Structure 1
């Protein structure tokens, strides 16, 4: 029985847990009839699209397929496994937005409050609000825009404190007036992470552990630091062009992605988080609805809201991508069908959005 199954048993009883398949084994007989078809579709897509990583698919809390492909580490030929941990990059933003909403519920933060309410020394535009940071309408320019990995990534090749990240990379003159354009930017979530630290009086990592990771039982998740040796963490590799070979990810200080992309996790933990978040155990129903209300570019707080069509129906689906060089992740949650798709990879060889959508469509057939 995998770790998620043990948690689910405590939530819903032994009958539900008996239907969960063991990590890395073929779908058990107790699983829904479609599990074999879903597993076969995943294997075929993985083989046809050079996928390297882990896939976990669940419906109504029951695991349909859970399988890993390829290598977690290429120099020594270490295979990917179901308990392999991956850098999840911008999937971190979903956790950050949930922490902000928890603090809104406690009355510690106001969504329409200007950033300077919490960061008096913030040098960015005074009209930027917490809400505009959450849905990427702050107008702050993206510090990663135009980055050329062939020339290195300077802002990530020297360590920065969260305060330095905000001062140096999230305080530039606005590219657009606040609230008028969707402009995806890690800078928004640097500022949100720093607000969490200042308001709570604790480092972001400690707040994340205390308010989400520990209460939910997510031992395989945390914040990356360049100096840390994290057991079972996949090494990442990327291709700079279609005709180029895979190379090691460039040397970077992972912690510089901070609240916008600095987390690692495994598939089990992300399923746990998805079940808890969308099941109302992380934030209130009102807060969750606010997170899932699409703004510009169909983006809510920390996630996109898409429609997936299957069987002649449209299903609202909540989607979170993450990608830095070879580290790539996607989380799909089909709300009313209670379908969760977690795909984690340590290469950039596969279109993760297409993979996630096709898996979700298969489950919904």
Structure 2
């Protein structure tokens, strides 16, 4: 999730005046990704509310060779949060709730619930522990969980910070918001989503998720080893209002267009959603784009990764959902944006990595820090694989194609080591950062 968000931040810095849209080049780019087994998924580009491009590559089901198409449905992870925030704002407009309503009105056993408001939950300012960081998460994420069980886990966790003193992304916030919507409406989240968003927006391929059914054109998710390897399915009782929606890139674009053109919430509510407090809007984040307004969200669950980005000034929406990535989301979206806007773009080369011996990795090991970088990085190894361990961030392997240089296409990271100087030069999110080894 953290480097997905960074990916979105990167691509929006490439704003230039759009030239003729080169669909042939974009087709060639995605054909290359498919031929080289570097990605599977679907892309949709909308201009002024109309789809002007779509492309799908790879398989929804690798074992049975079921190809993806524009109607293939993907788990969209945390993009669900924009849907949940919209539902909350609708209830506020109907005076069934306020931004100042305390969490204790619904779940008094949650720590500091009398100090946590609806707005704190919406803006990730509650201080509640992110339940998906639970040590046993990977054990219980695969089985059905009741609301009582989920609440019990939340109630036992200590606060990360005092409410409204900081902002830190936490799925717990939106899980609770989903429960609150159900408490107020006395219906399931799935029913509320259908009546309040799916039907008004005429979303044909969006629903609250359940067990994946490829016969209904739902994609499985995969990671690449020597071939695509099927990933376990999170039971959708776990992410709830934080990440349980299934959709298509086209439907996501229609939803965002509906949200920003007044179909779902008032101008006043939308303005509040777009207002940032410590980087977070209400169910939205904003991306740098040469001073232009632009909003959206990203999502990751199991082997799925998705992004939705809306640029009001250009009336442009780019949505992409993947059920398998080798080339990182950053690199793919960079390619899409640069090709769309007519910027120079050279297709990536996919060369085999160097075969290093474990002893050759030793000069790179250690902990690296930089004052301007938000977290320290520990470089470790597993046999002949160099591993990046970012404190409070992702852990992922990197590979080398040139002496002292390593990359991760999936994470969108490039690293140049200077072992004699105890330095590493990190390229991430369009930035170059020098870190010093302790």
Deviations 1:143-164 (A, max 9, x none): 222769xxx8123122112343
Q: Secondary structure at the match of 2:76?
A: strand
Q: Which residue of 2 aligns with 1:323?
A: 300
Q: Which residue of 1 aligns with 2:220?
A: 235
Distance of 1:55 and 1:163 partners within structure 2: 38
Cα distance, 1:75 vs structure 2: 0.3
Distance of 2:60 and 2:112 partners within structure 1: 41
* TM-score normalised to structure 2 length: 0.68
* TM-score normalised to structure 1 length: 0.81
- Conserved 8 A contact 2:42-2:68: yes
Cα distance, 1:245 vs structure 2: 5.1
Is 1:248 the counterpart of 2:230? The answer is yes
Of 299, 323, 326, the residue aligned with 2:280 is: 299
Q: Which residue of 1 aligns with 2:187?
A: 202
Of 183, 187, 193, the residue aligned with 2:178 is: 193
Of 228, 233, 241, the residue aligned with 1:259 is: 241
Is 1:356 the counterpart of 2:333? The answer is yes
- Which ranges of structure 1 fall in alignment gaps of 5 or more residues? 1-31
Of 202, 215, 226, the residue aligned with 2:200 is: 215
Of 275, 289, 292, the residue aligned with 1:308 is: 289
Write 1 or 2 for the structure with the bigger share of helix: 1
- Conserved 8 A contact 1:304-1:320: yes
**Change in 2 beyond 3 A, CA 1:39/1:199:** farther
**Change in 2 beyond 3 A, CA 1:285/1:38:** farther
Q: Which residue of 2 aligns with 1:13?
A: none
Of 324, 329, 338, the residue aligned with 1:347 is: 324
- Which ranges of structure 2 fall in alignment gaps of 5 or more residues? 1-17, 343-438
RMSD, matched Cα? 2.5
**Change in 2 beyond 3 A, CA 1:354/1:141:** farther
- Conserved 8 A contact 2:124-2:168: yes
Deviations 1:17-57 (A, max 9, x none): xxxxxxxxxxxxxxx9733x155236416625812111000
Cα distance, 1:339 vs structure 2: 0.4
Write 1 or 2 for the structure with the bigger share of strand: 2
**Change in 2 beyond 3 A, CA 1:325/1:144:** same
